[in-house]
């Protein structure tokens, strides 16, 4: 925008043309995720960029700059954009042009910011727009401080309902509200991370992690560092030694969902560690993101971690179950880093007939409880990475089957399980696809079609953008 060799008129026209070309390309490919993202950028983010970086350009100057790029857009592509927004997947390119499309939404946002007047749409689009001001309701700006204050005063149940609605509605908000809604979410993340208000933070984390659209929109307005750094600090300094703590399962659940939100951003946007801040060597998050699927040799663990490993294996696969004393003695961080080794040792025990398959499956049911479910990401990563190195596929594949298509999930566990499959599903899908392609003999105890069908809806999460 500040290129000294380019006039403001040219900069405006070129940027608008480039943005609509990207949108048209995604429309012709019928790529719904990118259509939503580019439409959001054009309608909500681009006008704000013009307002910030071209403060001296208003009215007729904008009209002149916008007329050519907006009037020459391929209207067939606009039909597809409108259809995708309405989930009308099978609309034909030859469908009649909608009377109100993304161009009008863009001009409405420009008018709401005072960059053009509402009547300019007829002049820019050649009388093809109708009454822009009456086409949609003009939004009122969202007061960030007022909304945060209101949310802070809510009890957990009311907050969960409201924040779910905010995350759901953020896609359809206009330029005066969408950025403010993102700011509300980011400010709440920062505030509750600092205050260790982990239950409400967990509720917010779950809603954001379930919405790919919301995650994409958040990064249109805020840097990954601003979103993730407070979460990483919260996780790295997690409190699990509070003597007043009576519900260790809730503590583990809170920790797991906050970690899943970090992983969701990290894997969906293929971030590197530098984009989320400088992490020291003692950072749990750094170690986890770099080696979430790594199992360690027993001799390398040290006595304390070896004792924890033995305690978890005993708790998972013994009839006494996982006790509060076990969870009190092991932080969620230490447990999470041990999960690949727990799975590795369980597979080895079955292969050596120290444990039967029914006992193994019974222990795996604990992993599907909300308080341990987030750690299944580590289990999936280890299985996907090490499956080829194992001589026998049957037991690892039975573990995968139990974790991916469980016979039962509680209502609380279902959304967490969905997030886990989004993060860990792609590498598992790839390795099973390779096994199906090249293995000479496959175990008949495995429902390969069921596993692949369950993972398929989640594959784009790690390779969309």
Task: Indicate if 344 and 443 belong to the same structural domain.
Answer: yes
d(Cα 380, Cα 458) in Å, to the nearest integer? 14
Task: Indicate if 129 and 151 belong to the same structural domain.
Answer: no
Q: Which residues of 412-433 are buried (b: 16+ CB within 10 A; e: fewer)?
A: ebebbbbbbbbbbbbbbbebbe
- pLDDT above 70 (res 305): yes
Alpha-carbon distances, residue 15 vs 9, 70, 80, 100 (angstroms)? 10, 11, 21, 22
Is 278 in contact with 267 (CB distance < 8 Å)?
no
Task: Indicate if 167 and 106 belong to the same structural domain.
Answer: no
DSSP assignment letter at 146:
H
d(Cα 376, Cα 418) in Å, to the nearest integer? 11
Q: Which residue would you say has higher pLDDT here, 147 or 207?
A: 207
Whether residue 2 lies inside any domain: the answer is: no
Give the pLDDT of residue 93: 31
Which pLDDT band, with edges at 50, 70 and 90, does 94 fall under? very low
Using the 3D structure, point to which of 135, 157, 189 is the last residue of a domain: 135
Average of per-residue pLDDT values in the chain: 85
Q: List the beta strands (DSSP E) in 228-308.
A: none
Q: C-alpha angle with apex 19: 13 to 22, nearest 5 degrees?
A: 135
Using the 3D structure, point to which of 248, 283, 318 is the last residue of a domain: 283
Give the pLDDT of residue 6: 60
Window from 2-16, 239-253, 340-354 with minimum mean pLDDT: 2-16
Whether residue 291 lies inside any domain: the answer is: no
Task: Indicate if 456 and 310 belong to the same structural domain.
Answer: yes
Give the pLDDT of residue 264: 97
d(Cα 454, Cα 31) in Å, to the nearest integer? 21
Q: List the beta strands (DSSP E) in 4-126.
A: none
Whether residue 289 lies inside any domain: the answer is: no
Domain coverage including residue 89: 8-135
- pLDDT above 70 (res 100): no
d(Cα 421, Cα 34) in Å, to the nearest integer? 21
Task: Indicate if 186 and 114 belong to the same structural domain.
Answer: no
Which pLDDT band, with edges at 50, 70 and 90, does 92 fall under? very low
As a whole-number percent, the residues of the chain with pLDDT over 90 amount to: 43
Residue owning tokens 């792609």: 426
d(Cα 226, Cα 271) in Å, to the nearest integer? 14
Window from 56-60, 108-112, 207-211, 337-341 with minimum mean pLDDT: 56-60
Whether residue 3 lies inside any domain: the answer is: no
Whether residue 292 lies inside any domain: the answer is: no
Does an H or E element contain 423, and which?
helix 413-438
**Of the candidates 281, 195, 287, which has an alpha carbon nearest to the alpha carbon of residue 234?**
195
CA dihedral 329, 334, 335, 339 (to 10 degrees): -150
Task: Indicate if 200 and 62 belong to the same structural domain.
Answer: no
Alpha-carbon distances, residue 126 vs 122, 123, 133, 203 (angstroms)? 5, 5, 16, 48
Whether residue 288 lies inside any domain: the answer is: no
Mean pLDDT of 333-356: 92
Q: What is the pTM of this model?
A: 0.88
Give the pLDDT of residue 64: 84
Task: Indicate if 338 and 436 belong to the same structural domain.
Answer: yes
Task: Indicate if 345 and 319 belong to the same structural domain.
Answer: yes
pLDDT in tens, 372-425: 999 999 999 999 988 877 667 888 999 999 999 999 999 999 999 999 999 999
Whether residue 234 lies inside any domain: the answer is: yes
Whether residue 179 lies inside any domain: the answer is: yes
Task: Indicate if 313 and 443 belong to the same structural domain.
Answer: yes
Mean pLDDT of 335-343: 95
- pLDDT above 70 (res 227): yes
Is 16 in contact with 46 (CB distance < 8 Å)?
yes
As a whole-number percent, the residues of the chain with pLDDT over 70 amount to: 87
* Tokens, residue 334: 């230490």
Domains in the chain: how many in total?
Answer: 3
Task: Indicate if 101 and 186 belong to the same structural domain.
Answer: no
Give the pLDDT of residue 81: 64
- pLDDT above 60 (res 87): no
Task: Indicate if 148 and 125 belong to the same structural domain.
Answer: no
Give the pLDDT of residue 84: 56
Task: Indicate if 272 and 323 belong to the same structural domain.
Answer: no
Q: C-alpha angle with apex 290: 280 to 183, nearest 5 degrees?
A: 70
Using the 3D structure, point to which of 91, 113, 135 is the last residue of a domain: 135
């Amino acid at each position: 925008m500040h290129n000294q060799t380019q006039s403001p008129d040219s900069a405006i026209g070129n940027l608008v043309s480039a943005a609509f070309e990207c949108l048209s390309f995604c429309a012709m490919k019928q790529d719904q995720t990118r259509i939503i993202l580019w439409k959001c950028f054009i309608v909500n983010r681009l006008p704000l960029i013009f307002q910030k970086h071209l403060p001296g350009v208003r009215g007729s100057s904008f009209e002149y700059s916008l007329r050519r790029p907006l009037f020459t857009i391929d209207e067939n592509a606009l039909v597809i954009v409108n259809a995708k927004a309405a989930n009308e997947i099978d609309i034909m390119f030859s469908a009649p042009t909608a009377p109100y499309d993304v161009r009008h939404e863009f001009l409405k946002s420009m008018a709401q910011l005072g960059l053009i007047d509402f009547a300019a749409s007829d002049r820019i689009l050649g009388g093809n727009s109708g009454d822009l001001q009456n086409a949609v309701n003009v939004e009122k700006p969202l007061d960030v401080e007022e909304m945060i204050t209101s949310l802070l005063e809510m009890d957990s149940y009311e907050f969960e309902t409201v924040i779910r609605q905010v995350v759901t509605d953020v896609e359809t908000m206009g330029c005066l509200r969408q950025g403010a809604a993102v700011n509300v979410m980011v400010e709440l993340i920062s505030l509750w991370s600092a205050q260790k208000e982990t239950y409400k933070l967990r509720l917010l984390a779950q809603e954001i992690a379930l919405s790919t659209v919301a995650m994409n929109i958040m990064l249109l307005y805020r840097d990954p560092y601003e979103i993730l750094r407070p979460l990483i600090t919260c996780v790295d300094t997690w409190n699990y030694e509070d003597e007043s703590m009576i519900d260790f399962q809730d503590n583990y659940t809170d920790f797991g969902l906050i970690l899943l939100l970090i992983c969701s951003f990290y894997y969906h946007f293929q971030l590197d560690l530098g984009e989320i801040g400088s992490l020291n060597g003692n950072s749990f998050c750094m170690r986890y993101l770099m080696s979430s699927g790594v199992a360690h040799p027993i001799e390398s663990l040290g006595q304390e971690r070896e004792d924890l490993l033995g305690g978890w294996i005993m708790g998972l696969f013994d009839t006494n179950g996982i006790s509060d004393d076990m969870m009190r003695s092991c932080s969620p961080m230490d447990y999470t880093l041990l999960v690949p080794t727990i799975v590795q040792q369980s597979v080895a025990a079955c292969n050596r007939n120290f444990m039967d398959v029914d006992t193994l499956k019974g222990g795996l049911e604990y992993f599907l409880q909300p308080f341990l479910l987030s750690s299944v990401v580590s289990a999936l990563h280890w299985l996907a990475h090490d499956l080829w190195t194992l001589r026998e596929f049957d037991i690892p594949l039975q573990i995968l089957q139990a974790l991916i298509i469980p016979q039962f999930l509680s209502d609380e566990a279902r959304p967490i399980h969905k997030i886990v499959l989004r993060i860990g599903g792609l590498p598992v899908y790839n390795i099973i696809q390779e096994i199906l392609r090249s293995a000479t003999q496959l175990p008949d105890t495995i429902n390969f079609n069921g596993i692949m069908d369950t993972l398929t809806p989640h594959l784009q999460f790690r390779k969309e953008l």
